Amino acid sequence: MNHFLGQLADILFLDIETASLEGSFEALPPRLQEEWLKKEKLIQIDPSQEREPGSLFFQKAGIYAEFGKVICIGVGYFHFVKGEDKLEFRTKSFYGDDEYELLADFCTLLSKKRWTLCAHNGKEFDFPYLSRRILINRLPLPEPLQLAGKKPWEIRHLDTLELWKFGDYKHYTRLELLASVFDIPTSKDSIDGSQVNQTYYQDKNLPLIKDYCLKDVLVTAQIYLAFQGLPPDLDMEIINRDDD
Give the H or E element holding residue 201.
helix 196-201
Confidence label for 241 from pLDDT (cuts 50, 70 and 90): confident
Please state, for a pLDDT cut of 90, what percent of the chain lies above it.
73
Please state, for a pLDDT cut of 70, what percent of the chain lies above it.
93
Do 14 and 3 meet the contact criterion of CB atoms below 8 Å apart?
Answer: no
Q: How do residues 194-210 score in pLDDT, each as one tens digit?
A: 899 999 999 999 999 99
Confidence label for 140 from pLDDT (cuts 50, 70 and 90): very high
Averaged pLDDT, 49-61: 88
pLDDT at site 145: 96
pTM of the model: 0.93
Residue 234, pLDDT above cutoff 90: no
Using CB atoms within 10 A of its CB, is residue 128 exposed (0-12), middle (13-18) or buried (19+)? middle
Confidence label for 42 from pLDDT (cuts 50, 70 and 90): confident
Cα–Cα distance, 238 to 80 (Å, whole number):
12
pLDDT at site 85: 72
Averaged pLDDT, 177-190: 86
pLDDT at site 48: 66
The total number of residues shown for the chain amounts to: 244
- Count CB neighbours of 11 within 10 A: 18
Using CB atoms within 10 A of its CB, is residue 46 exposed (0-12), middle (13-18) or buried (19+)? exposed
pLDDT at site 4: 63
- 106-110, 182-186, 224-228: least confident range: 182-186
Q: Which domains does the chain have, with CATH numbers?
A: 2-21+67-234 (3.30.420.10)
Confidence label for 5 from pLDDT (cuts 50, 70 and 90): low
- 2-11, 70-79, 107-116, 220-229: least confident range: 2-11
